[in-house]
Amino acid sequence: MTASVPEVRTRREGAAAAIRRSIILGQVEPGQKLREVALAAELGVSRPTLREALLLLTHEGLCEQEPHRGFSVATLDEQAVRDLAETRLTLDRLAAVTIAGDPAKCRELAQAWAAYEAAGHNPDPLAQHLAHVEFHRAMWAASHNDTLTRLWPTVDALSTLVLAQDQVMRGDPGRAVHLHGRIVDAVASGSSDAIEAALNAHTRQSAEEFIASRIQRPHS
Amino acid sequence: MTASVPEVRTRREGAAAAIRRSIILGQVEPGQKLREVALAAELGVSRPTLREALLLLTHEGLCEQEPHRGFSVATLDEQAVRDLAETRLTLDRLAAVTIAGDPAKCRELAQAWAAYEAAGHNPDPLAQHLAHVEFHRAMWAASHNDTLTRLWPTVDALSTLVLAQDQVMRGDPGRAVHLHGRIVDAVASGSSDAIEAALNAHTRQSAEEFIASRIQRPHS
DNA sequence: CCCTCCAGATTGTCAAACAAAACGTGTTCC
DNA sequence: GGAACACGTTTTGTTTGACAATCTGGAGGG
């Protein structure tokens, strides 16, 4: 499997990657303003280049922008987390069902799984995050659905926002890997019920646990 | 119902709207290069502003961009059209089922339908297109699913690319309105089977007819 | 035919400037 | 006390002009 590290070919992509990384690592908070002049100086790019990077992240969903009011790190409320879970469930199901019907696609998924299993226990939170996200991207890619490929950056960004805050999942990488193993087994079995159950455990239950953990520890 | 004409608050949004309009009306072809210097002059904006507009359209999916090679109007092959139909089916179903379970959401959909019925027979192709797209946007909005709202621009752009080429649908606005009426009736009935059948007729069958019409009249 | 080279075209980026909009603070009025 | 207004400051949105980097197309040679 080709490792799908996004190739940085422009300074705008590099700036976007740096900002994305700081969001993943929690170095900036949801809702935090991102000041163009200071951030451009900090990243060593010109302001128009930074704007292009921030617009990229905004179109994906990691940042939010209002005309004349600037950019900020995106926020997701409880209902938005549930909406993401429901929508992911339906799109993950489409991907999984498409893969289950095709042996070549199943092999691609198995390769993605092997890579995740190898990388998912890494103690570095950034590496864990990237391995997790890469597994899902590879699963969608294995379905060879053009539209899913196009929708992936948005779903990736929303998932990233949740995962960056999700201490439950982050504190137990073994559990995360196990949940994803169940998905792979279900797809390989070809059973719609098994796929549904595995995706449900992965997506809907994880979202509810995340929401519950935030209620116990309100942020502000 | 508030008419959801996107408010143009920045010159970048205005430039993007003008380019979007020329794509809808077929004034530019799929695959056609969009030259920054000429296009900026034509639209009366500076080049960085045009770039921001083009990046917006690229993130949505109406345009494609490769570093150092510039922007072009996006293209969709047959498989991509089918992938869009399948993905739309699954997301439309999610929206429809969410709406069917909630009377307030059903009322919102009925309002969207009334607006489309009033506007959908307009002989102006741009008005038809906008009415069609607005109905779908309003249907997703009626589901109040945050993630669907975020995914909408991409699905809108892909659907726009297909509709801009779809002479079958464009040549028969009455049929298009009828298909959408079936969706509304199915949602109001609350029957999953009826929803599935109506969405299938709308989405999968229309995609196959479109693909068939292109095979009969190859573009080049 | 294929390969190499190069001039021209185009894109990516930067710096500086300025207009427009928003923000924060202080003052006045009810 | 709260609301409205004025004003200075900060920030964003955009333009202009320049230049470096990359790509493209055509010419020439083997």
ipTM of the complex: 0.88
The amino acid sitting at A45 is V
CATH code at A161?
1.20.120.530
B47 touches strand C (CB under 7 A): yes
B82 with B65, same domain: the answer is no
pLDDT at B179 over 70: yes
Distance CA B182, CA B199 (A): 8
B206 with B153, same domain: the answer is yes
Helix (H) or strand (E) holding B96: helix B78-100
For each of chain A's 220 residues, which pLDDT tens digit applies?
A: 233 455 788 999 999 999 999 999 889 989 999 999 999 999 999 999 999 999 999 999 999 999 999 999 999 888 999 999 999 999 999 999 999 889 999 999 999 998 888 887 788 888 888 888 899 999 999 999 999 999 999 999 999 998 888 766 667 777 777 888 888 888 888 888 888 888 888 888 888 888 887 765 554 3
State residue A215's pLDDT score: 67
- Domain count of chain A? 2
Asked if residue B5 is part of any domain, the answer here is: no
- Give the residue from A11, A55, A140, A146 with the most B CB atoms within 10 Å of its CB, the best one to mutate: A146
B105 with B147, same domain: the answer is yes
User: Do A165 and A213 meet the contact criterion of CB atoms below 8 Å apart?
Assistant: no
Among A73, A89, A112, identify where a domain stops: A73
Q: Annotate A174-187 with b (16+ C-beta within 10 A) or e (fewer).
A: eebbebbebbbebb
State residue A3's pLDDT score: 36
The amino acid sitting at B73 is V
User: Do A53 and A16 meet the contact criterion of CB atoms below 8 Å apart?
Assistant: yes
**Distance between start and end Cα atoms, chain A:** 43
Q: What residue has token string 């109905």? A: B135
In 3-state terms, what secondary structure has residue B49?
helix
State residue B215's pLDDT score: 66
- B140 against B169, higher pLDDT: B140
State residue B6's pLDDT score: 61
Q: Do A59 and B61 touch (CB under 8 A)?
A: no
Ranges of H-type helices in A101-124: 103-119
Taking all residues of chain B, what is their mean pLDDT, rounded to a whole number? 87
Report the length, in residues, of chain A.
Answer: 220
Distance CA B219, CA B166 (A): 12
- Work out the angle at residue B5's Cα, subtended by the Cα atoms of residues B2 and B9, and round it to the nearest 5 degrees: 120
State residue B168's pLDDT score: 65
B166 with B69, same domain: the answer is no
- Give the residue from A66, A147, A160 with the most B CB atoms within 10 Å of its CB, the best one to mutate: A147
B20 with B56, same domain: the answer is yes
pLDDT at B76 over 50: yes
B164 with B196, same domain: the answer is yes
Average pLDDT over residues B181-202: 86
The domain of A92 spans 78-216
A49 touches strand C (CB under 7 A): yes
